[in-house]
Amino acid sequence: MPKITFSDSSLTVEVETGSALMEACEHNDTPVDFSCTMGACATCLVVLDAGADQVDPADDDEKQTVGYSTDEANARLACQVTVNGDITVRYIG
């Protein structure tokens, strides 16, 4: 089972392959906040410090929203991420 490590809190949780990062955040005490949950507001902006290749690629809409919000490499909207392997997440929302 993939592990998600939240570098802000040193919390690590295990999820099923193909799980939504948002659900893992909502079911655990994580530092990631959410608002619209549809990929439009960037409240849940995170950086994948490790494992960027272990999530589904961002679609064009997500890339545009992230691009307006930050220039950090491997930035993603947590509400849009599907976890396929171990990742380390840092909340920058």
Segments making up each domain of the chain, as ranges: 3-91
Nearest-angstrom CA–CA distance, 36 and 17: 24
Tell me the mean pLDDT in the region 7-35: 93
Tell me the mean pLDDT in the region 36-59: 96
pLDDT value at residue 29 = 86
Give the architecture (CATH level 2) of 3-91.
Roll (3.10)
| C-alpha distances out from residue 39 to 12, 28, 46, 76, Å | 24, 21, 12, 10
pLDDT > 90? residue 8 = no
Nearest-angstrom CA–CA distance, 8 and 3: 15
Q: Which residue has the tokens 């690590």?
A: 12
Percentage of the chain exceeding pLDDT 90: 94
pLDDT > 90? residue 9 = no
For the whole model, what pTM was predicted?
A: 0.94
Nearest-angstrom CA–CA distance, 40 and 27: 22
